[in-house]
Amino acid sequence: MIRSELIKKLEAENPELTTEEVEKILDLFFDQIIQRLADGGRVELRGFGAFSTRDRSPRKGRNPRTGAAVDVPSKRVPYFKPGKEVRERLNK
């Protein structure tokens, strides 16, 4: 399922809303999640899962083309942990 398919499903369920409104709702929904992670917080959506961030230590990497060693700085990456319900239902 891609974003446009999700928009179609939501539109079908909410005939009182325009496509633009549904798009704005989805943009807000996903942007808020990103913003909270960017601010250093986490997002918990019971039953679905939780978004948080993980810190990656600096490491020595290599330019795959030249083989030259490069320093890869420490960074923070988004992380998603699926909810218990989803994990269990995937393996039924």
Partner 1 sequence: MADTGTLTRADLAEILNRQIGLSRADAAAMIESILDHMTTAVLDGENVKISGFGTFVLRDKGQRIGRNPKTGVEVPITPRRVLTFRASQGMRQKVK
Write out the residues near partner 1 by the rule CB under 8 A: 1-3, 6, 9-10, 13-14, 21, 24-26, 28-30, 32-49, 51, 53, 75-80, 82, 86-87, 89-91
Q: Which residue has the tokens 């909270």?
A: 36
SS3 65: coil
SS3 67: coil
Q: Measured from the CB of residue 30, what is the shortest distance to partner 1 in angstroms?
A: 4
Q: Measured from the CB of residue 83, what is the shortest distance to partner 1 in angstroms?
A: 9
Helices 19-38 & 3-13 angle (0-180, nearest 10):
120
Q: Measured from the CB of residue 86, what is the shortest distance to partner 1 in angstroms?
A: 6
